[in-house]
Amino acid sequence: MSETAVVARRLSVGYGSHAVLSGVEAFLKPGGSTALVGSNGSGKSTLLKTLAGLLPVVEGGLEILGRPVGESSQRVAYLSQFHQSGFVLPLRAIDVVRMGRFDQRSRFTRRSRADDVIVSESMELLKVSDLADRPLRDLSGGQQQRVYLAQVLARRSDLLLLDEPTAGLDAPGRAAYIDALNFERSRGAAVVTATHDVGEASMCDRVMLLAGRVIADGPPNVVMTPENLLETFGIGLTKVGDQLVVTEHHHDHDHDH
């Protein structure tokens, strides 16, 4: 495993020559977790896609797992906000999770016992084992999200890039997600998530607040101040007991592109 998961230097990301986020400096190590937090259009989803090699770098330098971006794609797992595979084909939940093993073996190699064990473990971690034979299209949104998260786990990647991973999850689903991430990190995988959930972000080692540029970057208890969050996306927080409570919120939804 590489000594670094992500190295970004003066990185700008966007579409074509148009940058939507500039000035990203990052040095992410294996086993760490980073939350990208920002409002609609802040660039967090665009940054994830660039880290995944789905968009070219606009400007600056980017290395993924010790190699130029795109050269380690088999060791990177990316979860988009939008999923279509289960609706194009009548797939069962277990079929979707098994797709996570496709990139880890030759196209002509049969599924192995080890593959089956990894798929089973991944489904158990996300609490979807009992849904294995059900068609994906018949599942609730939260159940589908847990199935796709299980697919990501089944890849056994060194870098996980997750866009709004807790969308649609209820409290037990979020608890399963947290357990799954702790498992991934315990084996050395680095995790980068894009989220608008300040509670979810506060559980990460590192938070990057984005608004077309990096507003703040560091440990959540240092970065997530009312002043920084207000500058990031117009939200104020007050502390009630051990919880951060939103006192002002100008953006109801976050669908960064």
In a domain, 44, yes or no: yes
**Alpha-carbon dihedral of residues 180, 186, 192, 194, nearest 10 degrees?**
30
Above 60 in pLDDT, residue 255?
no
Q: Are residues 118 and 152 in the same domain?
A: yes
The CATH number of residue 40's host domain is: 3.40.50.300
Residue 171 in domain:
no
First to last CA, the chain: 31
Whether residue 247 has pLDDT greater than 80:
no
Q: Indicate the number of domains in the chain.
A: 2
What integer pLDDT is reported at residue 74 of this predicted model? Answer: 86
pLDDT score for 87: 60
| 16 shares its domain with 54 | yes
**Are residue 162 and residue 151 in the same domain, yes or no?**
no
Are both 114 and 162 inside the same structural domain?
no
Dist. CA 216–CA 218, nearest whole Å: 7
Residues 65 and 7 in one domain: yes
| 198 domain-assigned | yes
Residue 211 shares a structural domain with residue 117: no
Give pLDDT tens digits for 179-216: 999 999 999 999 999 998 888 999 999 999 999 999 99
Give the number of other CB atoms < 10 A from CB of residue 132: 15
178 located within any domain: no
pLDDT, one tens digit per residue, over 90-145 is: 899 999 999 999 865 555 567 788 999 999 999 999 999 999 999 999 999 999 99
Same domain, 162 and 62: yes
Helix or strand run (H / E) with residue 227: helix 226-233
Amino acid present at 66: G
- 55 & 162 share domain: yes
The answer to whether position 116 is within a domain reads yes
Residue 139 lies in a domain: yes
Q: What is the pLDDT of residue 103?
A: 67
CA distances from 73 to 62, 69, 81 (A): 14, 8, 19
What average pLDDT does range 44-53 have in this prediction?
97
For residue 248, give its domain range: 1-72+158-166+189-257
199-185-22 Cα angle (round to 5): 60
* Main-chain dihedrals φ then ψ at residue 202, nearest 5 degrees: -65, -15
Distances (CA, A) of 24 to 7, 208, 244: 10, 9, 27
**Same domain for 253 and 162:** yes
Given a cut of 90, whether residue 170 has pLDDT beyond it is yes
